Structure 1
Amino acid sequence: MKKIFLVLLIITMAFVGCGKNEEPEEQIDIVEEVPEDVIEEEEEEEIDEFEGMAMNPLTGLYIDEEAANRRPIGIMINNHGGAIPQSGIMQADVFYETVVEGGITRLLALYQDFDSEKIGPIRSARHYFLEYAFDHDAIYVHHGQSPQAQAAFSQLNTPNFNGMTWGGIMNFIDSTRVAPNSTYTSYERLMNTWEETGYRQEISEDLEPKFRFYEEETDLNSDIVANEVTLPFSGNTTYTSNFSYDEDLKLYKRYHRGGQPHIERETEEQLEFKNIIVQYTSTWLIPGDTAGRLDQDLISNGKGYYITNGEAIEITWEKTAHRSATQYYDEEGNELLMNKGKTWIAVFPDNREIILE
């Protein structure tokens, strides 16, 4: 028994001895060093978020720098029943709408950064629409013109693409539509026409901008509610323009022709806008014009409304020369600041009233 105890004691001491002779492993924290050039590269990536981009002068949003520095293109879009739905209008940044002969309205769609394969139908020019194009240093695109517009193109040396002159390059015909609602163009065709005409492509640095934008989304904090906007341009109620504010999107959806959604033909999307400007303007029949064509006093001043985010404020406007941009001012006389996004401008007869609800 003593022998067994002695053997166990020896074995136990041997194990203890082994344990004492083993040195504990040293725990090493591994720190991975990041090269300085990688850190600098990451910092540069954060700073250069908008590298190669510039602000779109029509929306205040960042777009490709080359497109931002190019003159915008203004296309005369037919708004007649036979032209509905129109094509390529979702890519337009700004729309002008005003009345022409017969109490109907016509549209000038302004494009800065676009690639549409089909835009139109394109319609004939009216001379007062030239002033809207001048406001943005835009190339004016049309198919034919009124006698007054033809004279204005010559007198004012207006850069324009006329489909009746450049039709082989600029236009194509949609066989599913009946003339005069069948003439269309595209981004590629417009760029080819631009090369042929030789017009300056860079936007003028001398033109004072028409739009100025808030840095951040801003509410007007106005007492004038504008969730529903109704623009009865004439006694022809078919051409009453309607906008309904979507609180979730914070955008105005456009309706026309008796409350129908204004839809793009190719994408089947409804037009939506961040801003609406109403510019009250003296409008009258041209004496002796047998077609009942109209004129407007645009190198002048007047009143109007700026509408955004379900509210409206009263504004004033002023244009001093053909090639100066119309300027808008708020109630305190400061240059109007707008929210970034697309804008619908209603050049509205000053003897009629809009409805805000």
Structure 2
Amino acid sequence: MRGVLKKSTIALLILLMIIGISGCRADKNLSQEENQGAEVVVIEDPQEDKDKEMNEETQKLEGFEINPLTGLYIDEEVAKRRPVAIMINNLKKAIPQSGISQADVIYETLAEGNITRLLAVFQDFDAEKIGPVRSARHYYIDLAFNHDAIYIHYGGSPQAYAAASDWRSDNLNGLSYLDEIMCWRDPVRKKQKGMYEHSVYTNAEKIMKAWDVVKYRKEAKGEAQGMFVFSEEERQMEGKKAEKVALPFTSKITTNFEYDPGSGLYKRIQFNQPHIDEMNNQQLMTKNIIVQYTEIKHIAGDKAGRRDVKTIGEGKGMYITNGTAVPISWSKANHQAPTIYKDENGNHLEMNKGKTWIIIFPSNRQIKLQ
């Protein structure tokens, strides 16, 4: 009897072992849904995760480089190319302008009379219509040199033509054999009374064709690419409140910016209305505003009332971002050298990444901050 029991017990044990092994195998083959309740202990390696994230980030950035004008990533080939700086008409009669919302940097300063002109600097752009393009003034050539940019204009003052020759400026003049290659006249504007001189336009494709014709150097110089220093972290400065910025160039012309906390950008206002790009019907906006105080005076004996703007030397200024303004200084060693901006401690100004509007402003006038 004991022998029978013993054999039965052994058989039972063997049967239970077989069932257990089969059960284990079955568990391994269970679907993910059937195993959701199972507790799985995974030992993670923080360094492995970090390396994985860095590798994924590197892969995302392959083919991209920093835009020297904004501090943001763009196509690497475009980032290495020289930018273009286009002379833009800013008369009230000439607005709305086209394509300038794609500009990375825009300069503004006085021309003759109670007007300002803009120099729109583009690194990465594909605008189908840019303008109206206007004639050159000599001090805008200095501003194009800041970025080693190709200076684009339609005609120019006697001083501008002399400066372009003396300073060896790489420029594309639409009022030349390049006219049909690089420019066209808006068919509606040119027929309107008093609008013919405000009807010249260009675009990205035509600029590249004209550039190929004149065979100017394509790759940017490193020194000019380092004009701006951008902070890796978003900066909130400690300074004067600057949510509204008014810049009265003369008693009759004032440029305004208003800070938008939602976007962290300044909205541009002129002629008491939003400054609109007709290509997208959007208001111009900028992350940074630099006010560069300097001497601006009329050229003696110039019958057209043209001005001279001091761009070589040094002076004071103001950096405005995120609703705050802080004092800075500027210096430019020669025509071809970039302008250098420094903070109160004499260090290179670290700017927030994004677009910048640079106001070359009369040192005998005051801006208004609110």
In the other structure, the counterpart of 1:268 is: 281
Change over 3 Å in CA distance of 1:298–1:21 after alignment to 2 = closer
Deviation string 1:87-134 (CA, Å, 9 cap, x unpaired) is 001110000000111020000000000101100000000000001000
Of 114, 120, 139, 1:128 maps to 139
Structure 2 contact 238–326 (Cα < 8 Å) conserved: no
Shift of 1:207: 3.6
Aligned residues: 331
Compute the displacement of 1:297 (Å): 1.5
Change (3 A) 1:48 1:125: same
1:98 maps to: 109
The residue number in structure 1 matching 2:231 is: 214
1:103 alignment partner, SS class: coil
- Please, which of 176, 179, 193 is the counterpart of residue 188 of structure 2? 176
Check 1:46–1:212 CA distance in 2 against 1; reply closer, same or farther (3 A cut): closer
Match of 1:167 among 162, 175, 179: 179
Q: Distance in 1 between matches of 2:134 and 2:206?
A: 16
Q: For the residues of structure 1 that align with 2:331 and 2:169, how far apart are their CA atoms?
A: 21
Residue of structure 2 in register with 1:289 after alignment? 302
Other-structure match for 1:11: none
**2:57 partner SS:** helix
CA distance in 2, matches of 1:191, 1:208: 20
The residue aligned with 2:62 is 51
Q: Check whether the contact 1:67–1:113 (CA below 8 A) recurs between aligned residues.
A: yes
Name 2:202's counterpart in structure 1. Answer: 185
Alignment map for 1:114-263 (pairs within 5 Å): 114-165=125-176, 166-177=178-189, 178-207=195-224, 209-222=226-239, 224-237=240-253, 240-257=254-271, 259-263=272-276
1:207 and 1:136 map into 2 onto residues whose CA distance is 5
> Once the 2 structures are TM-superposed, how far is the Cα of residue 208 of structure 1 from its aligned partner?
6.4
Change (3 A) 1:67 1:106: same
TM norm structure 1: 0.89
Counting aligned pairs with the same residue, the percent is 51
- Give yes or no for contact 1:208–1:324 (8 Å, CA) kept in 2: no
Q: In the alignment, which residue of structure 1 is the partner of 2:23?
A: 26
Extract unaligned runs of 5+ from structure 1: 1-16, 33-38
**Can you give the 5+ residue segments of structure 2 that lack an aligned partner in the other structure?**
1-10, 33-48, 190-194
Asked whether the 8 Å contact 2:223–2:338 carries over to 1, the reply is no
1:77 aligns with 2:88: yes
Once residues 353 and 224 of structure 2 are traced to their aligned partners in structure 1, the CA distance between those partners, rounded to angstroms, is 20
Tell me the distance in 2 between the aligned counterparts of 1:30 and 1:349: 80
What are the superposed Cα offsets for residues 313-346 of structure 1, whole Å, 9 maximum, x if unpaired? 0011111111111111111111111000000000
Match of 2:358 in 1: 345
Matched with 1:67 is 78
CA distance in 2, matches of 1:354, 1:184: 32
Q: Are 2:68 and 2:225, in contact at CA under 8 Å, matched by a contact in 1?
A: no
Amino acid at match of 2:217: R
